[in-house]
Each structure stands twice: as C-alpha cells, then as structure tokens.
Amino acid sequence: MVSRLTSVALALFLGAGNAVAGSILFIGNSFTFGAGSAVRFYRADTVTDLNGQGIGGMPALFKSFATQAGLSYEVYLETQPGAGLDWHLEHKRDVIGQQPWDAVVMHGYSTLDTHKPGDPTVLIASVRRMAEVLSARNPAVQLRLLATWARADQVYDPKGAWFGKPIESMTQDLRTAYNQAAAGLPGTKAVVVPVGEAWMRAMHTGVADSNPYDGIDANKIDLWTYDHYHASIAGYYLEALTVFGSVTSRDPRSLGQNECSGFELGLSPAQVGALQQVAFDQLSAEGPVSAAPLRSNTLTPPASCVRSR
C-alpha cells in the first residue's frame, strides 16, 4: 500500500499543485537545531518548537523547501544539546507521544555513545523503544533515521576516537549503526537518511574540503563550523536537502539555484546548485528519486521569499 506521504509526493510530480502532506516531527540534538550557525534560530516562526526555545534549525529549512515545492507540512521539533534518543525517551516521552505523527525524523548522539564512541548498542535499543512509542500513537508512522556526519575533531584531533583513521571510516561506522537500528525494528520499516554519506560525496566530488585543520582549499566549502564538530550553514543546508529529498521523494535540484533559504543564509547560487546536486546524487545512489532539476538561466535573487506555516 502506498503511504500517504509518498502519495502526496507522486501527486505533486503529476502536477497536482499544493498538497497537504501531514505532520512531521524532528527529534535530535544540536545536529538538528543548527548549533554554531545562523540556522539555529532561522525562521523559527514557521515551525513549532515543542520545548519553546524559539528554535528553527534544520526543520525550518525543511519547511522552507517543502513550502517552495508546494507541500504543506506542519513541522515540529524536540531537541536537546548533547543528547541521544535515550535521553529523549527518559525526559520527553510525554511530549513526543502527545499526538500521532505522520512522519518522524530522528537521530542519536554524534559518536553513537557518549561513553563508548562507536558502540551502536544504545542507538539500536533507543531506536527500537522510540519506534514503539511512536507507532503506538500511529501504526502507519513513517520513520526516518538520520545517519549523521563524521566529526573532523574526532578524526583529525589526536584526542578523537577515530584519530588516525580516514574520515570515511567514521562515516561508515555511523551508517552501519543506523542500518542496524533500522533492521532491528520488528513490524516497522524505517528509512535511513544518508546525510553523512552526502557530506562524503561533497568532499569526494570537490565541492567541500575534507580537512578543516589544514585550511580550506580555494573554491571549496567548509561543511563544519568553527569547532570542526557541528555544521556550518552549508553543512546544515546539505543535511536539510538530503532530508527533504528522502521524505518527499522530490529531486532537491527542483528547488533551483535561486532557492530562497540559500539566498537568505548567504550561500551563492553556485554553492546552492552544487549542494543540491550532491544531495540528489546521494539519494539516487540509495534508491529511486525522480529526476526533476529546475532549469533556469535566471540567477537574480528572489524578490521575496515564501514564509508560511
């Protein structure tokens, strides 16, 4: 049976215009709320922060993309810095379980376990318990597990848990853990969103620099912010594009190089286009995504940007 969100996406591809796509909840930490960048409080008035902290974050970017694409999502977020899904289950279960969400995007701590970096045990158990809480309210909830990016400080700093290994190693360890968590859900299907691998693709294709500790190469993007841990504006933008494509089955390139939020956050049209291409290529490598790039020679800034709840 085709899910409701997939049906909406297909209807949009067929030219149905604006469509109601339901509610979506984002559960995470600083990697969701945009720590270290202007994304943190970006367009906070367009989403609902269940903790009342006035955060827009990556969910607000998703909302902006969806609105520009003609999809009407009600976007909610529940975030806590430095927390894994086990923390949310212990402290925010009532908040998370307050309504039957149509879709949920969630992720754990950036090293999988704060005490045992690289150990997926806590993530796997927490995903399973969270899925039970969410599916109890809506058995048809669509679950997305966001596989996060490798931290430069964990790879290039001698104190890092992945020091001495290639950055691809941390990315693969994270992805393997999220794959295991998704596979461990009885009766519930979860899709892994390949954000970390989209970051790696950006590096491998020359869009982004792979090591901020030795300087940023000319004409390359630094996906990390100043702490080499959290993302830069460009890093969160790529995260949001990948989530947008995964959830909606839309080609991120359909937003065009003149996409509104990229312009508002100071990215150039060339950077926006390159990041959209990376997100599309990674999603295409994961599964079918209908190619629908926006072809336009007009690169002037948008006269106004859509702001809608």
Q: What is the pTM of this model?
A: 0.91
**How many CB atoms within 10 Å of residue 83?**
19
Distance from C-alpha of 121 to C-alpha of 125, rounded to nearest angstrom: 6
Query: Do the beta carbons of residue 122 and residue 196 sit within 8 Å?
Result: no
* pLDDT, position 291: 81
Phi, psi torsion values for 2, nearest 5 degrees: -75, 130
Distance from C-alpha of 146 to C-alpha of 81, rounded to nearest angstrom: 16
Q: Angle, to 10 degrees, between the axis of helix 195-204 and the axis of helix 167-183? A: 150
Per-residue pLDDT of the chain (309 residues; tens, 9 = 90+): 334 333 333 333 333 345 668 999 999 999 999 999 999 999 999 999 999 999 999 999 999 999 999 999 999 999 999 999 999 999 999 999 999 999 999 999 999 999 999 999 999 999 999 999 999 999 999 999 999 999 999 999 999 999 999 999 999 999 999 999 999 998 778 999 999 999 999 999 999 999 999 999 999 999 999 999 999 999 999 999 999 999 999 999 999 999 999 999 999 999 999 999 999 999 999 987 778 887 665 555 565 677 767
Query: Do the beta carbons of residue 230 and residue 36 sit within 8 Å?
Result: yes
* pLDDT, position 58: 98
Domains of the chain by start residue, with CATH:
20-285 (3.40.50.1110)
* pLDDT, position 289: 79
pLDDT digits (tens, 9 = 90+) for 17-66: 456 689 999 999 999 999 999 999 999 999 999 999 999 999 999 999 99
Query: Do the beta carbons of residue 200 and residue 167 sit within 8 Å?
Result: yes
Sheet strand arrangement including 103-106:
48-49, 71-79, 19-28, 103-106, 142-146, 190-193
Nearest one of 242, 213, 8 to 107, comparing CA atoms? 242
Torsion sign over Cα 199, 200, 201, 205: positive
* pLDDT, position 292: 84
Taken as a whole, the chain contains a residue count of 309
pLDDT digits (tens, 9 = 90+) for 284-304: 999 877 788 876 655 555 656
End-to-end CA distance of the chain, in Å? Answer: 29
* pLDDT, position 157: 98
